[in-house]
Amino acid sequence: MTSEILSAINILTRPVNEASAQSSHHEALLAALGANKALLLDQLQSNSSFQEVRRLREDVKEAAEWFCSETEDVTWSFVQECLILLLALSRHLTVELEHFQQAPPPLSVKLRTPEMAPPLPPDVLSVSQQKTLGAAFQFVVCLGLCPYLAAGVGVPLSRRSAFGAMVEKVVYREVSPPATRRLLTTTRVLLQLAEQSSLATLVFTRHLGDVMAALCQLGFQPQREDGRLLSADECRVCKKALKDLLGKVYQPIIIKELLILQGGPKQSAPAGSSGGPSGRAGLGSAPAWLRRLCGQMLSERLMQPNGVQAVIRAVLEGGTGGDSDWRKCDAVARILVACPQQSTSADDYFRLVCPQILDLLHLRDKLTAQQFQRVATRAALSVVLERPGLAQQHLLRPVLSPLHSCITASSAEHPQEAVEESALTRCLEDVYKIWVVGNSPSEVLLAALEEVLPVIFTVFCFTKQNVSHLRATCQEVLLWYLSRSETSSALSALRQLSGLQEPKNNVSADFHFAAGSDGGVRLTCRKSCSDGEDELYEKLSGEQWRLECLMQLLAELKDSDLPGDFFLELLQELTSWTSDEHRVDEEEVDVASMTLLEVEQQLLGRADRQAQRLVLLQVLAVMVECLQHSQLLRRTSQVVDFMVSLLQRACVGPDMSSGWNPIESQTLSMGMGLVATLLSAPQLGAEEYSCMSRLLPPLETVSLRHPDALIQEMASNLRAVIATHGAYRPENLTAAAGRFSRNAETKPKKKKEVESETDTPEIPVSSSRFLPASSQKPSPTGTVGRSSADVPYPPDNKPLSDWLLEACDPDVPTRAFALRILTQMVQRRDPKLIQAQEKVLTLFMENLEHEDSFVYLSAIQGLAVLADSYPDRILERLLKDFQHGPSLPSSKRERSLESRLKVGEVLMRASRAMGELAPHLGRPLVGVFLQGTRDVDQSVRASSLSNLGEICQRLDFSLGPLAQEVRTGQNPAYSRAQRLPNIQPYRTQVCCYWV
């Protein structure tokens, strides 16, 4: 009978010709509705196929107390017939579905194969049937619900279509039953029909907003006592129906409809409106009671579990990701931060909402994660800005909890692992999204991040030694803090990270970071080291590595004055050592008049000061070595501050008449060359000269007291130029600037540039790292490990013989510069040098034993290039020297070990440059390095292991018969590597090539 009922509904809801209806105004529409109803009644009486439909219709009609047969309104009479037929269909489908569920399965169902579809229940409707029902529901809503909504409640029909505007005018409200009763009847019947699942889909997918608007008006609209048409029980039933409806429908849809009902700001009535019921108010002019009601219901949706996601999905679902969607994200963030009036307290509200905001940061669905994470970031930043106290308690503290656990971890509570890898990974990613991506620095955010900054830096240092996806995240977070915080806070943080100041919150001493299985890190309990020397070496190497990592961070601050400010602060501290306070510290103390406790305190205090000074010198040395001078001294004021510090140290130092240390003289000369370069600029303003005027007093002191006549003259000339604002400019000023520029050209490459030229891992394992500390002292120019690529190829037309002579010059800078020129001549295969190949080789080998790093590193580079250009002969010589020590007659036996290690460095660089010749040239190197792993000296063994890993990589592991010898676990070299303190920081990289 389902088809018959739908046929009857189809007769009643035949399409109305809108054009004809409009042409004859409203009478045609009313006539069409009346004609359809009359045709239906006639068919029910005359057509035998509708006999069961007629009987069922009569039963439903008798049970409908609301049915009014005497109404004079054609539209309401039509709506009543639609409702009766829809209720008849619902009753029939319910009965059929019960029989279907209770009846035993037929034989065909029992014999059904897995490929066969299950039988359809009787309430499943075809597409054409759904279309018929959709038209019926549309007539019911347009004629029986929307016209009776109060002004501002719901979306008016006039805003939906031209036909809807006409429908509003044909409704006759003055006759019985009253408009409120009609609205109540239609709403009740629609909710009753929605109890049947197949009909509920049609009602709620198209008319949910209208039903919600009707329930809000029926249950919550204020009414005058004398005009009340609904009883208290009827209002209570409507309220309960609305509550049930809000709870069982998909929450984002509910929230979207509530936002529509709540409307926008109030609008004035349009000009020419009648102001009566038909003159509906403009869209968005919802009455105050409805706005309050929708706000309350929205707050309830928000504060329930997963309410934040429901609100966001309601606003953002279906977006395209354009600019409008980004504005929506910011709008939703503002909604989340606003504490609703219905909440008992702001603390309770944010306790519920903040965890949901953080959950938005962890979505894995790429299609929604971007927008959701933006909302979460903006909401978190808004909470921090507007509610800093609550943000600290409910937002920042939970985010940073894993990092705080790294500080407070106890071996008694966590004997093995204190913080899991997943927790640390999520924590650092959340910090990156809120702090870096949000990029809204505030005192609260900076202070919270400052508390855990040492932990993040420790993680960063660990990831630089291993392959980890957290390396870039940690680096961005650290750079964000250093670039966004106040200069004083950033400098204090740098002092802590560099070891000059004890960190406030460092990783617990009993724990250290270890590699995680998913590429992250985890905090595990540190195993005690029985060997005191190994423990000391691990501590010292760790401190050195942290300094190198810190310099890499500072090198990334391209357009920041922070590296220069930090450098100048350390120089000022260094200057204070030569002051009166330093000299008093070095005076002999009369211990006879002191107690033992006072003597102990005096000695411990002096030891602490000495240790602090050593750390300061180490930090300064690493900064000068790793950072370009253009980054350390970016602005003129920084150059002036540097020179003031340098000249003040010269003025308060030892008596100049007794002579100066050559290194200090060379440094002072280079500093003056830097000032001369600034003064040689084509245009200098009064501001620059005013800044440089601070140099006048110390320059005068140096020009009068320094024992070196050239430095005296240079100081006097610089003072005259600054004092006259460039009016007086001596001829030798340009020459001094030129000398400084040539020295600056030999500035070492940054570590990143050196690493990019090789195929080595992140931390290049070089044999020079295993040299004794005595051979690593700085050169007179303060540079170590410079590259020949930075030296201009010959600056003049000197013959080869002159360069060979200068390579033997006792002056270190001259000798090193000549060695670099000879290296470039080898690279360019200069014909004259090819003829003097033997002399150049001998010269490089002799300089290899020089004690100054500026010289022997230049010789190492030259030998590596020579071995690359003429491998057959040069490699044979180098391998013999690596095995048995230097073969030159002038070689000193006590320096044999250092020379072997330097030759090992040459072989390592030559291995890198072999390329496709590695299989041909690398076999002898493998044999020699394997023998070196059994050497009695641990430094040679460490160097051999490093070089062995390098050559194995160049050979693409095609070792042939040597594979078994080199393989991890069976080669005694690997077991020795486990015990070598020198190889500990590089063990993973040395052995990762072995398979």
- 3-state SS, residue 417: strand
* Contact between residue 558 and residue 633 where contact means Cβ atoms under 8 Å apart: no
Closest C-alpha among 578, 587, 551, 546 to residue 567: 551
CA dist 442 and 461 (Å) reads 27
Closest C-alpha among 577, 595, 594 to residue 586: 577
Residue whose entry in the numeric block shows the structure tokens 């990589």:
953
Token digits of residue 662? 């050559």
- 3-state SS, residue 947: helix
Count CA atoms closer than 13 A to 595's CA, side-chain side: 3
Token digits of residue 852? 């100054």
* CA 231 distance to own-chain centroid: 60
Residue 669 CB contacts under 8 Å (≥ 6 apart), including other chains: 710, 711, 714
Name residue 525's beta-bridge partners. Answer: 511
* CA 573 distance to own-chain centroid: 36
DSSP 629: H
CA dist 887 and 845 (Å) reads 9
User: Helices (H) and strands (E) in the chain — how many of each?
Assistant: 47, 3
Please give the single-letter amino acid code of residue 21: A
Three state DSSP letters for 189-225: HHHHHCCCHHHHHHHHHHHHHHHHHHHHHHHHCCCCH
Residue whose entry in the numeric block shows the structure tokens 């960190």:
503
Tell me the Cα Rg of the chain. Answer: 44
Q: Give residue 803's pLDDT.
A: 84
* 349 CB-contact burial (10 Å; exposed 0-12 / middle 13-18 / buried 19+): buried
Three state DSSP letters for 450-510: HHHHHHHHHHHHHHHCCCCCCHHHHHHHHHHHHHHCCHHHHHHHHHHHHCCCCCCCCCCCC
DSSP 513: E
* 760 CB-contact burial (10 Å; exposed 0-12 / middle 13-18 / buried 19+): middle
CA dist 557 and 577 (Å) reads 29
Contacts of 26-30 with C-beta under 8 Å, sequence gap 24+, read 26/166, 26/169, 26/170, 29/166, 29/167, 29/170, 30/74, 30/75, 30/170
Cα distances (Å, whole numbers) of residue 448 to 389, 423, 554, 601, 748: 12, 18, 22, 36, 38
Token digits of residue 977? 């590597």
CA dist 714 and 232 (Å) reads 101
- Concatenating the DSSP letter of every residue in 826-851 gives HHTT-HHHHHTHHHHHHHHHHHHT-S
Q: Give residue 79's pLDDT.
A: 92
Q: Give residue 919's pLDDT.
A: 62
Cα distances (Å, whole numbers) of residue 687 to 636, 684, 693, 722: 10, 8, 10, 12
Q: Give residue 273's pLDDT.
A: 39
Residue 826 CB contacts under 8 Å (≥ 6 apart), including other chains: 833, 840, 862, 865, 866, 869
Question: Can you list the residues of the chain whose pLDDT is less than 50?
Answer: 18-23, 225-226, 267-283, 580-582, 584, 654-655, 657-659, 740-796, 968-995
Which H or E element spans position 799? Answer: none
Rounded to 5 degrees, φ, ψ at 511 are: -130, 160
Write down the mean pLDDT value for the chain. 78
CA dist 886 and 123 (Å) reads 98
CA dist 406 and 409 (Å) reads 5
Q: To the nearest 5 percent, what fractions of the chain are helix, strand and coil?
A: 70, 0, 30
* Contact between residue 350 and residue 379 where contact means Cβ atoms under 8 Å apart: no
Q: Give residue 554's pLDDT.
A: 93
